[in-house]
Amino acid sequence: MSDPLVIAGRKLESRLILGTGGFASLDALAQAIEASATELVTLALRRVDPTQRGSIVDVLDRAGVALLPNTAGCYTARDAVTTARLAREAFETDWIKLEVIGDDRTLLPDGPELLRAAEELVADGFVVLPYTNDDPILAVRLQDVGCAAVMPLGSPIGSGMGIRNPYNLRIMRERVELPLILDAGVGTASDAALAMELGCDGVLCASAISRAQDPTAMAGAIRAAVQAGRTAHLAGRIPRRLHAEASTTDAGLPDFDAPPAGTPHGAG
Amino acid sequence: MSDPLVIAGRKLESRLILGTGGFASLDALAQAIEASATELVTLALRRVDPTQRGSIVDVLDRAGVALLPNTAGCYTARDAVTTARLAREAFETDWIKLEVIGDDRTLLPDGPELLRAAEELVADGFVVLPYTNDDPILAVRLQDVGCAAVMPLGSPIGSGMGIRNPYNLRIMRERVELPLILDAGVGTASDAALAMELGCDGVLCASAISRAQDPTAMAGAIRAAVQAGRTAHLAGRIPRRLHAEASTTDAGLPDFDAPPAGTPHGAG
Amino acid sequence: MSDPLVIAGRKLESRLILGTGGFASLDALAQAIEASATELVTLALRRVDPTQRGSIVDVLDRAGVALLPNTAGCYTARDAVTTARLAREAFETDWIKLEVIGDDRTLLPDGPELLRAAEELVADGFVVLPYTNDDPILAVRLQDVGCAAVMPLGSPIGSGMGIRNPYNLRIMRERVELPLILDAGVGTASDAALAMELGCDGVLCASAISRAQDPTAMAGAIRAAVQAGRTAHLAGRIPRRLHAEASTTDAGLPDFDAPPAGTPHGAG
Amino acid sequence: MSDPLVIAGRKLESRLILGTGGFASLDALAQAIEASATELVTLALRRVDPTQRGSIVDVLDRAGVALLPNTAGCYTARDAVTTARLAREAFETDWIKLEVIGDDRTLLPDGPELLRAAEELVADGFVVLPYTNDDPILAVRLQDVGCAAVMPLGSPIGSGMGIRNPYNLRIMRERVELPLILDAGVGTASDAALAMELGCDGVLCASAISRAQDPTAMAGAIRAAVQAGRTAHLAGRIPRRLHAEASTTDAGLPDFDAPPAGTPHGAG
Amino acid sequence: MIVHVNGATQEIDDGATVATVVQTMNPTPAARGVAVAVDAEVVPRGQWERRELHDGARVEILTAVQGG
Amino acid sequence: MIVHVNGATQEIDDGATVATVVQTMNPTPAARGVAVAVDAEVVPRGQWERRELHDGARVEILTAVQGG
Amino acid sequence: MIVHVNGATQEIDDGATVATVVQTMNPTPAARGVAVAVDAEVVPRGQWERRELHDGARVEILTAVQGG
Amino acid sequence: MIVHVNGATQEIDDGATVATVVQTMNPTPAARGVAVAVDAEVVPRGQWERRELHDGARVEILTAVQGG
């Protein structure tokens, strides 16, 4: 029973997008890709280093995954647009994970610059997946300018703090029809499950996997958690209550103590 | 790669224990058992109802699962002990999920009565799995009197509120060597994953599955979540940080703007 | 407009009870007592130290506060009862803050021992104020055996973690008619206000004040917070909503853009 | 000991700014102003209603408070700028609480439009206090364009949900030197205290007071809570710990049980 | 002679056993999953046939239900 | 001549000023707390008397209300 | 004769009372805030003068400290 | 003639092309995953051979790395 994530017409059987930052080696990355079952993987552009051995592109090609280049490190719409165009040239894909950050300590997105870059890239034919904060209004604006998905954070990149404000994601889900991909903050499996239960369509995860003590195992865990959360979301959870709701009926409860009421004991 | 939960010497490949309360029918229960892959299932004792059709014991026997009778509805150690003995007689098992509650609105356990009942049943040869609150001290006392596992709540039975106080479970995990099974409060998949990440050895779940809109799907979701949480726990999660930790390096970041510092532009 | 806290017939105008542990000096304590406006102050019994200068009893007597001796450090009902009797002898008061702990790392109460000691001390004529965990059932049991108040923790003594499980306090408040005094875990002013808003009748606070960088200032802050929380509780707060509720009406909003609908512009 | 809030050179002895929306009558407003001790009060502009009796401006003038007109109901920078200019004309003040919202259901701010309006109004000589979301980057941008304060939300206007993401406020506080005023979401006293403890310089509160069952009492409660939170912030709270930290020493603990170690009992 | 079976008063013959009343409540008494207490004491299945009930006995005949 | 005052169409004489329409809406126009925009531009109070309205002008006459 | 006072062994004369050992530990025994247990039983202040200690008695002399 | 390649100053012959400098930095320039900007404008791979560099040109030669 297929339940694919569809972004810009592309069907992805896996709802987990893997970020490649932080893996200790290309081998570790290759193993995590396999364990994660992902079909879409991010990568970045940096200056050529003549001493570098091994190419991440080869690893990703061998794994058969689609590429999602990012614009990490850009602080302005202009730099992000340039970087996106270089990525298109380098990787022959129109897809771009758009990052325009405001600060190198929080790596939080700069909303106005992000919106500007998104608008320009959409006009230039890109399939734009913006990394944004958890602001529902900005998410709607990004939808309005023609992005292909909206990728809010749960908490800062690499912080592992999970979803700090689930209410914002709930409100965002009410307002945004595009695919919602939780894009930062996952620290462990339950965070990924929660994202899906809140109505996200997918999860993008890098550090939680790449920097775990056992990245391959964590890739499997988060893969399972994304599926579990998705299934749970569709299965319709029970409501929350302050008090208890018995799971065992009181009907037919034995009475070991008193003689039945109103019975003249020993009367027979 | 087997990673069984071992309680009183019995190996359980599944770390999910299924409670049977709340299923709309025995068929629905049978399907959920299969979807959950559980190997241990609770049931209760009530007065014989001559009009009843179908036996839960037959369903459980056909499913090949072990039985875990409970003492639901007991308010005193005495009633719980009597009920446990009847369950042993009825189901030919020494295992008992011991419940001694204090209140029919919260169904919260009565600690002193629970401890008394546990002590008595251990002395009588039972394998005692007590449903307890999240008090680390009471958990240690239950361990001390010879219980086979400790089963703390996350929140009241059937409340679906998840784990209200994760700190207590962390402290309990530090103090208790016995298997810890989260026994109440799971509302959806992420709650089950979180329990395992906090170091629980298993999860007992009834209402979250039986009262979900699609119980079979939710059984599969929670099964996957328990495994995901277990794997994530063993995989060693990243630490939490207030600020970000970049997943893409800044090394080799291009500079599209300024001419290189100190270069007399056009000097050549 | 007086709104005293009444425990065992004694009226206290201040709803803040001060714990004396952790102050750097008796002077610091005296200043904090004054800043806190408390009328009831804890103290402990330890072996006489012939080298000790200054008596805490003198300080408390000069401040005009009532004494609330505790049984800190007791692990059994028996030791707690003996300590309480010595305190009665030493301080000529029937009041006792009853502590029976289970563990020197968490200092969490041992429920069954606590209940036993409470019962014995009540029978012996004490006014018993038990330090307990946040278990609503145990709170009811303590009420049932004749305690004068119930003093649940918010989090472990000295942890400064605030109220980890507000739901338990809400449930406890529904079930307990005795004065409820939050007795551990306050880290700062907002914690104390929250306790009162949840329906507690008072707050007992030691470390948050005594170990603050400026204990006198913090005493004033927590005093104000207790009053603020009490007043807010009685004032009836607004309900919580997921979405917004405008505080400025839309009626009469100007329209700077369009000509009024249906008006043939310039027709006149 | 004065500790005024200084905005654009104006000293405010009270750190509580009162919003006037939602009061049932001007009398109720007047009483709340007095109970709150505020010195700065918001109001809005709407079309003249010839049937209206009584003027809020008269009430505020009699109370001796300064006016802070808002631009509530504006969805674009253009409308907000026009409204601000009308407010300056109407109330003879350069101060403006700038609101540019994105959505009439969440009333959440529209970041890019807000920033544009702020820039234009600063250039036009206004003292701009923007109502913004809890995005630290946007807060820095608002500071950069010359605002006089930054007023982040804790949760949506009128929601009473308190501070949903305290981490964002902590990060914002690290980055913003301007006065930070929590501007939406306060539901009760503890929320206001928490805002101050997180380092906010003030709190703006409307619905929590005006729609409380007893607005005058709640005004007093929130006034006290703001002061308590401010004092606690400056007093230096204790650190948070997972485990306990004893407030009573173990030194000198009596031993009622065993004879002293190594003593041949009765040997004398 | 009067006994109380699952909370209801029932007239039985003198000398009636646990097995007798079990059979009236549960036509298939051999089925696994049934247990009996008389006056709050468990009566093992093996004793049902020979255990006679006394006047006023409180009999609880229980079986498995969903729960837990 | 037709103008639009606070969203409602109103017929006024040629040469009517802002002050004229303000007075119809608000009998105490000197009161602090009133501001006027014509075609989305603020008209300062000092100009109300001499600022004539053109045909089709959109006039907003605003005053203080409670608000957040 | 040997007694154990606050955990330390102490030699005292036969017939010595509680008051005697209290005085050695605490020069101002009248002070409020002191209590004594012998063998885990409280000895009220009024009995200190006449209560003789037996060989091996465990005496705890306690006083007020900060706490709680 | 001086150009700036990846932030470093480099002397090249007049008439040198983008392809020339790419080859010096990256011995396998045909490899997928490389892109070039001159003065912040992308130079498509197909133009590398014929696009001559001007004096002072700022050349960025980028390739794939882990990230995101």
- Which tens digit of pLDDT belongs to each residue from D109-132? 999 999 999 999 999 999 999 999
Average pLDDT, integer, range A255-268: 54
- Which tens digit of pLDDT belongs to each residue from A186-217? 999 999 999 999 999 999 999 999 999 999 99
What would the two tokens of residue D154 be? 């804790």
B57, with CB counted inside 10 A (0-12, 13-18, 19+), is middle
What would the two tokens of residue A148 be? 């292909």
In angstroms, the separation between the Cα of residue D262 and the nearest Cα of chain G is 10
Reference C89, options D250, G52, G18; nearest CA is: G18
Q: E strands within E25-57?
A: 34-38, 41-43
Q: Kindly report the pTM of this predicted structure.
A: 0.94
> Which of C50, C55, C72 has the CB atom closest to G64's CB atom?
C55
C-alpha distances (whole Å) from C80 to each of C89, C130, D103 are 14, 11, 61
Q: How large is the C-alpha radius of gyration of chain G? A: 11
Report the percentage of chain C scoring pLDDT > 70: 96
A97: annotated active-site residue: yes
pLDDT at residue B258 tops 80: no
CA dihedral for A164, A166, A167, A171, sign (positive or negative) = positive
Contact criterion met (CB below 8 Å) for B57 and E33:
yes
What pLDDT sits at residue D52? 79
d(CA D83, CA D126): 12
Q: What is the mean pLDDT of chain A?
A: 94
pLDDT at residue A104 tops 60: yes
**pLDDT band with cut points at 50, 70 and 90 for residue B84:** very high
d(CA A163, CA A155): 6
**Per mean pLDDT, which range of B27-31, C197-201, E29-33, G49-53 is the poorest?**
E29-33
> What is the end-to-end Cα distance of chain A in Å, rounded?
66
Contact criterion met (CB < 8 Å) for F67 and D20? yes
d(CA D84, CA D96): 6
What pLDDT sits at residue G26? 72
What pLDDT sits at residue F17? 95
In angstroms, the separation between the Cα of residue B73 and the nearest Cα of chain D is 35
What ipTM score was computed for the predicted complex, to two decimals? 0.94
Contacts of C43 in chain G (CB under 8 A): 64-68
- At a CB cut-off of 8 Å and minimum separation 6, what does G48 contact? G17, G18, G19, G22, G29, G36
**Disruptive mutation site among D29, D62, D89 for chain F (greatest number of F CBs within 10 Å):** D89
Report the percentage of chain B scoring pLDDT > 90: 89
What pLDDT sits at residue D49? 87
What pLDDT sits at residue D264? 43
What pLDDT sits at residue C54? 80
In angstroms, the separation between the Cα of residue F62 and the nearest Cα of chain C is 8
Contact criterion met (CB < 8 Å) for A255 and E11? no
pLDDT at residue B259 tops 90: no
What pLDDT sits at residue A108? 96
**pLDDT band with cut points at 50, 70 and 90 for residue B262:** very low
Question: Given a contact as 3+ CB pairs under 8 Å, which chains touch B?
Answer: A, C, D, E, H
What would the two tokens of residue H20 be? 């020339």
Average pLDDT, integer, range D141-160: 97
Reference B168, options A240, C180, D89, C134; nearest CA is: C134
Contacts of H62 in chain A (CB under 8 A): 45-48, 86, 90
Q: What is the pLDDT along chain E (68 residues), one digit of tens a residue?
A: 999 999 999 999 999 999 999 988 876 644 678 999 999 999 999 999 999 999 999 999 999 999 98
Average pLDDT, integer, range G11-33: 82
What pLDDT sits at residue A50? 80
**CA atoms in the 13 A half-sphere facing the CB of F29:** 16
Reference B217, options A231, A200, A13; nearest CA is: A231
Q: Helix or strand or coil: residue A45? A: strand
What would the two tokens of residue F9 be? 């169409």
**pLDDT band with cut points at 50, 70 and 90 for residue B7:** very high
What pLDDT sits at residue D29? 98
- At a CB cut-off of 8 Å and minimum separation 6, what does A214 contact? B234, B235, B236
- At a CB cut-off of 8 Å and minimum separation 6, what does H3 contact? H9, H10, H12, H16, H21, H53, H55, H56, H57, H58, H59
Tokens 């865990």 belong to A221
Tokens 């994304």 belong to A226
- Which tens digit of pLDDT belongs to each residue from C17-66? 999 999 999 999 999 999 999 999 999 999 998 887 788 999 999 999 99
- At a CB cut-off of 8 Å and minimum separation 6, what does F7 contact? C255, C260, D47
Report the percentage of chain F scoring pLDDT > 90: 79
What pLDDT sits at residue D51? 80
Contacts of D252 in chain G (CB under 8 A): 65
d(CA A181, CA B69): 43
Average pLDDT, integer, range B103-126: 97
d(CA A24, CA A39): 21
Reference C18, options C158, C222, C194, C189; nearest CA is: C222
Average pLDDT, integer, range B20-26: 96
Contact criterion met (CB below 8 Å) for D246 and C108:
no
Contact criterion met (CB below 8 Å) for C120 and C148:
no
**Per mean pLDDT, which range of A230-234, B245-249, D8-12 is the poorest?**
B245-249
**Disruptive mutation site among B247, B253, B257 for chain A (greatest number of A CBs within 10 Å):** B247
Helical H segments across chain A, by residue range: 26-36, 56-63, 77-91, 111-123, 136-144, 166-175, 189-197, 207-210, 215-235
Contact criterion met (CB below 8 Å) for C200 and D251:
no
d(CA D104, CA D83): 18
C-alpha distances (whole Å) from B43 to each of B36, B115, E6, E65 are 16, 22, 19, 6
pLDDT at residue B2 tops 80: yes
Phi, psi (rounded to 5 degrees) for A7: -125, 125
- Which tens digit of pLDDT belongs to each residue from D131-148? 999 999 999 999 999 999
**pLDDT band with cut points at 50, 70 and 90 for residue C265:** very low
Q: Helix or strand or coil: residue E26? A: coil
What pLDDT sits at residue B113? 97
Average pLDDT, integer, range B90-114: 96
Q: Helix or strand or coil: residue C211? A: coil
Contact criterion met (CB < 8 Å) for H62 and B249? no
The partner residues of G5 in beta bridges, in order of sequence, read G8, G59
Reference C142, options C169, C172, C119; nearest CA is: C119
The partner residues of D180 in beta bridges, in order of sequence, read D150
Contacts of B85 in chain E (CB under 8 A): 42
d(CA C46, CA A231): 60
Contact criterion met (CB below 8 Å) for C163 and C194:
yes
- Which tens digit of pLDDT belongs to each residue from A129-180? 999 999 999 999 999 999 999 999 999 999 999 999 999 999 999 999 999 9
Q: Between A9 and G26, name the one with better pLDDT.
A: A9
Q: Which D residues in the span 171-230 are in contact with G, Cβ-Cβ below 8 Å? A: none
- Which tens digit of pLDDT belongs to each residue from F39-52? 999 999 999 999 99
- Which tens digit of pLDDT belongs to each residue from H4-60? 999 999 999 999 999 999 988 876 644 678 999 999 999 999 999 999 999 999 999
What would the two tokens of residue D240 be? 């948070």
Q: Helix or strand or coil: residue A50? A: coil
C-alpha distances (whole Å) from A119 to each of A68, A88, A126, B203 are 19, 17, 10, 48
Check CB contact of B107 with chain A, cutoff 8 Å.
yes
In angstroms, the separation between the Cα of residue A168 and the nearest Cα of chain B is 18
Q: What is the mean pLDDT of chain B?
A: 94
Instruction: State the Cα angle at C135 between C134 and C139, rounded to 5°.
Output: 95
> What is the end-to-end Cα distance of chain D in Å, rounded?
66
Check CB contact of C85 with chain G, cutoff 8 Å.
yes
Contact criterion met (CB < 8 Å) for D225 and C224? yes
Average pLDDT, integer, range B196-206: 98
Contacts of D265 in chain G (CB under 8 A): 56
What pLDDT sits at residue H24? 85
Question: Exposure pattern of D160-192 as b/e (b: 16+ CB <10 Å)?
Answer: bbbbbbbbbbebbbebbebbbbbbbbbbbbbbb
- At a CB cut-off of 8 Å and minimum separation 6, what does B144 contact? none
